[in-house]
Amino acid sequence: MKPRPKFMQLPRSVLVGKNVLRRVNFVCDDLNLNGKCLVITGPNTYKIAGKKLCNILSKEHDIELEVINEASTSEVERIVRIVNKEGIKFIAGVGGGRVIDVAKLASKRTALEFLSIPTAASHDGIASSRASLKHNKWSVSKPARAPLGVIADTDIIQNAPYRLLASGCGDIISKYTAIKDWELSNKVNGEEISEYASALSLMTAKIIMDSSKLIRKKEEAGVRKVVKALISSGVAMSIAGSSRPGSGSEHKFSHALDTIAPSPALHGEQCGVGSIIMMYLHKSDWERIRTALRNIGAPTNAGELGIDGEYLINALVRAKDIRTSRYTILDEVNLTRKTAKETLKETGVIE
């Protein structure tokens, strides 16, 4: 089989602002999305935005509604069967990360376009072409399809719990270490690096760091900044054709926690704390990362994550075994239990 050519897959229409959900039919017209639409949503997000979306869409389209409970391969299979059976022409995912990831993968499998309509700004999958999925208890990152359109209604997102927004900021701030790892691999292994993708990713992290106090005010202007950063970060990954600009050692640490901790924290919360640790291992300004997370009100230690220190030590030791093809600072330092514990103490993550 010939290798797949590398290309940038980007969203074509992006609408961010107050009460923009009501413009969904306009966006469909603009993107030439016609025929029957499958609306995918979650049980809670249906009440928050799914129902309203169905009411608006059904004025101009036939719709089919599906509520999903998790982002798993079996849910994607189920959605693909519905698409084929019901003669669906396009998909709209309205909800959190799980909903959008399932919509994204179902869209790739069926070669149908999809609209990404996030109800919270908690992670950078809103506009990216990658999805993470639960498979045999492990979370795996898979290539998917970037949304053709993104509708981010800041009224809805502002009403979501603040913890979700703070988590989104953690995911963005963690790009600092993702880029450091990419640069390291470029230096050590000659891995190709996209200067445009890395510059864009760093810029989004900087904007969120600089706006930390504004974001804490929980006003619409701050929410809009976070949403735009999450979309830009997804675009950076599309430019690179991989999640490299958005995911390094700190993401490995978060994935390790997802499998080790009995009740993990949110993805962006774990990545934010991971970024403090990895910045320390990179011998760089880790305190700056911690201050920004504190200003935002995101967790910076085990207590705030609600995870016992023992799990953090184990996750930090095991993080380098996750996705071993991706070279990061963890491959340089080769942490033992003892040095992992010292690192967590030095950075104030555990006492």
List residues binding Zn ion (CB under 5 A).
171
**What is the closest distance, in whole angstroms, from the C-beta atom of residue 50 to Zn ion in the complex?**
24
**What is the closest distance, in whole angstroms, from the C-beta atom of residue 254 to Zn ion in the complex?**
7
Residue nearest to Zn ion (CB): 171
Nearer to Zn ion, 20 or 172 (CB): 172
Nearer to Zn ion, 275 or 343 (CB): 275
Looking up tokens 């590398």 gives 6
Nearer to Zn ion, 113 or 171 (CB): 171
Nearer to Zn ion, 27 or 173 (CB): 173
Q: Which two tokens stand for residue 134?
A: 């639960």
**Cβ atoms of 212 and 296 closer than 8 Å:** yes
**What is the closest distance, in whole angstroms, from the C-beta atom of residue 246 to Zn ion in the complex?**
6
Q: Are strands 138-143 and 130-135 parallel, antiparallel or unpaired?
A: antiparallel
| Integer Cα distance of 167 and 21 in angstroms | 23
Q: Which two tokens stand for residue 245?
A: 């600009």
Nearer to Zn ion, 132 or 347 (CB): 132
What is the b/e burial string over 102-118, where b = at least 16 CB atoms within 10 angstroms of the residue's CB? bbbbbbbbbebbbbbbb
SS3 state of residue 71: coil
**What is the closest distance, in whole angstroms, from the C-beta atom of residue 244 to Zn ion in the complex?**
12
Nearer to Zn ion, 38 or 227 (CB): 227
Q: Which two tokens stand for residue 117?
A: 């309509």
**What is the closest distance, in whole angstroms, from the C-beta atom of residue 172 to Zn ion in the complex?**
9
Nearer to Zn ion, 64 or 171 (CB): 171
| Integer Cα distance of 346 and 294 in angstroms | 17
Distance of alpha carbon 144 from the chain centroid: 13
Nearer to Zn ion, 48 or 126 (CB): 126
- DSSP, res 46: I
Q: Which two tokens stand for residue 280?
A: 């320390």
| Integer Cα distance of 313 and 335 in angstroms | 10
**What is the closest distance, in whole angstroms, from the C-beta atom of residue 240 to Zn ion in the complex?**
14
Question: Of 116, 99, 120, which Cα lies nearest the Cα of 12?
Answer: 116
- φ/ψ of 144, rounded to 5, equals -135, -150
Taking the CA of residue 155 as centre, how many other CA atoms within 13 Å lie in the half-sphere pointing to its CB? Answer: 7
**What is the closest distance, in whole angstroms, from the C-beta atom of residue 251 to Zn ion in the complex?**
6
Cβ of 126: how many Cβ atoms within 10 Å? 25
**What is the closest distance, in whole angstroms, from the C-beta atom of residue 247 to Zn ion in the complex?**
6
Q: Which two tokens stand for residue 229?
A: 């950063």
